[in-house]
Every structure is written in structure tokens, then in C-alpha cells.
Amino acid sequence: MAENVRLLNNEEVAALVDIEDCFQPLETALKDLGNGNAASIRRHDVLSSAPSLNAINSFKSMSGVVPSLDAACLRVDSDLLRVPGEGGDSRRMKLTKSQEESVRIGKENGLLMLYQISTGELLAILTDGEVQRLRVGVTSALAVKYLANPESRNVGFLGTGYQAETQFRALAVVRPEMRAKVYSPNRAHVEEFVEKMLKVTGCQVEAASNPDEAVESAEIIVSATNTLYPTIKPGWLKPGLHINCIKKQEVDLDVIDRCDSVFVGSAGDTVHVVVGELRFQKLNETVDGWWKHQDHAWESYPFLADVMAGVHPGRVSPEQITCYIGHGTGVQFAAIAMLAYLRAEEKDVGYLIPTARFLQPILQR
């Protein structure tokens, strides 16, 4: 029996795990999922009002089990959200203490509980921020590996925020010779991002002054933004293009219908449960989108894991326009959390709590 449960924070995970390290365990987990040898419970968001902060509390949970990695993981997260309003520039904001003094939490407020399947033991509790970015970025890069034309090198990259860096760095692993043009509305952010990615990846990277310039010669378009409205224009689509989006709001029905094949990151969309007075409001979190139309239900699209497992053929011709829309699965967290835990055990990193503190006696009556 493990004598301690290991606590790992984002800084420790970042020091233990590189982006390159995540490809093998994530490929294993997703292939197993596609072959029916792993399982993932779809994300559930419970939305309730936090009136004192004029905000919405989103309590999220999802889990996954990967027997080949001897890993089971539960992710839980409690966010405070504020949606500024309608319009193409709307963003879903996570409230943090840095924005408002009355808010007590940071941007990432989730935890991962990692269990070992073979013993049933709780091995570690990790803050989820770094694992979250790694699993999204690396899975998106795997989508390019399996769905984009192998010779594609020109990338139009939209976004320079929280998710963008790991998206770009992971993409550079599968396309080390890529030539990228980057755009976001904040010019200073773009220039800072380009400078950093040039140093970190060694790829050709330059700033674009507008979205059309960023994608004009793109064979791959990556959208990694926090917008609640579409970022991909139907007029950008051309034969052989591959599109990566980190969430479904970044494409609209016109784009979906013009793609030859659309692939999604999870077998089921998020389940939203709205409680209290929010039941009577139309929330951007739950508003109708293409994914709620009968002919475009999320579950009707093939799953990236099925392509990786060889269950679905994926791209079948160089001329096809393909699109991958990311969405989390619990097996991603299980794979990277186990990797971080094993590295932490090897290097004795983290804060230890005696396992006995988590054990409960069987009550006899």
C-alpha cells in the first residue's frame, strides 16, 4: 500500500512534464478509448447563481479510466463565470481575485483525484490547470497528426491567450517545419506570443494584422480563443484544409456544412444542469447552437479516438476539408495525471499526506 497521497500543484507538474512527454500516454489512452478498452464519463456542468458577485457558479465534473495505464481519474472544478453580453466580441470570463478583490479563487480552481486501478488506492491529488492545458494542446496536435494532410505545413493560428501557447507548442511537435501566421485582436499580445514561439519552437512564426491575412495561405487553421462566437469564416474553406477548434462555438453551421468530415473530441457533449433562478434565463452556456440541431447532434459526429484506434478511416482523400472540434474526455486527465505522479514519485516532488488520513473503517451495525 502507498504510504502517502501526493499533492502536486501546477508549478510542480510543469517542472515534471514536458509537452513531448504527453504524446505517448495520451495516444495510448485515446486509442484504448476508441477500442473500448478505456472509459470516459462526459462532463457535467451544474450552473447556479452567485448573486453577491453578479456571477454564475459552474461546478464541473468528469472522469476517465485507462486500465492499460493503471489509472482512474476524477476531475472536479468550481468556476465563477461572467458573460459580458451579446456580440461578436463577447467572451466567457472566469472571475479571479486578480480581477475583483471580493473574489477569492484563481483562474483555475479544479482538482484531479488520481486512483490506481489495480489497488483501488488514491495516489495523488493534483491542481488541474497545467494538466488541463497539456491535454487540450496535445490532443489538438494529435488531431492534426491523424486528420490533416501529411505534407501540410502552412498554419493560420487564431488566439494568443491561455490555451494558445500549449496548442502552438504541441503542434510544433507534429509539424516541426510549420510556417505559422498568428492573429489576435491585441497586437501587443500577438508580438509577444510570436517572439516567444520563435524561441521555444524554432518554427517560422510571424504576426498577422488581421484574421484574413493569418489564414490566406493556410493548409491548417487553428482557433484557440475564448470567444463565444464563431472565429472561422466559411469563405476560408478550400480543398485539403484542416481546421482545429478548441470548442464548438468557434465554428458555425455554415462552416460545419461545408466541411467534408467533422470529428469531435468526445463521444458526448457537456451535460448542463441549471438550478434556481437561472432556469428562467437564456444563458450563453446553454444557448442553442449547431450542435443542438437534430441533423447536427454532437453524438452524430465521429470521435477522434475512433480514428486513432482505426475504427473510423478519418481523412480519406487529400482534397477533403476536415475539422476537429475539441472537447474533453476523462481519459486525458487520467493519462497525464499518472505521468506526472510517476515522475513525482521518481524525483520525490510534492507534498505528502499519510494515506491513513483518507482511509475509512467499515461501519458495522
Within-domain flag for 364: no
Question: How many domains does the chain contain in total?
Answer: 2
Task: Please report whether residue 195 resides in a domain.
Answer: yes
Which pTM does this prediction carry? Answer: 0.92
Confirm whether 275 is domain-assigned. Answer: no
Exposed / middle / buried, residue 38 (Cβ in 10 Å: 0-12, 13-18, 19+): buried
Q: Using CA atoms, how far apart are residues 278 and 339, in angstroms rounded to an integer? A: 39
Residue 248: inside a domain: yes
User: Where do runs of H (alpha helix) occur along 35-128?
Assistant: none
Same domain assignment for residues 218 and 297: yes
| Residue 276 counted as domain residue | no
Task: Please check whether residues 305 and 345 belong to one and the same domain.
Answer: no
Could you tell me if 100 and 154 lie in one domain? Answer: no
Tell whether 55 and 159 lie within a shared domain. Answer: no
Q: Are 135 and 336 in contact (CB under 8 A)?
A: yes
For the domain that residue 293 is a member of, what is the CATH number?
Answer: 3.40.50.720
Same structural domain, 124 and 196: no
> Is 277 within the bounds of a domain?
no
Q: Positive or negative CA dihedral for 227, 228, 233, 234?
A: positive
Domain shared by 95 and 120, yes or no:
yes
Question: Residue 76 maps to which CATH number?
Answer: 3.30.1780.10
Q: Which domain holds residue 218?
A: 141-270+283-325
Residues 50 and 168 in one domain: no
243 and 223: one domain? yes
Beta-strand runs (E) in 134-256:
154-158, 179-183, 204-207, 220-223, 242-245
Does residue 67 share a domain with residue 180? no
Any domain includes 306: yes
pLDDT along the chain (365 residues), means of 10: 92 97 98 97 91 86 98 94 53 64 70 97 96 96 98 97 94 98 96 97 96 97 90 97 94 95 90 81 61 85 96 97 94 98 98 94 71
Asked whether residue 151 falls in the same domain as residue 37, the answer is no
Q: Indicate if 153 and 193 belong to the same structural domain.
A: yes
Whether residue 248 is found in the same domain as residue 198: yes
Please check whether residue 253 lies inside any domain of the structure. Answer: yes
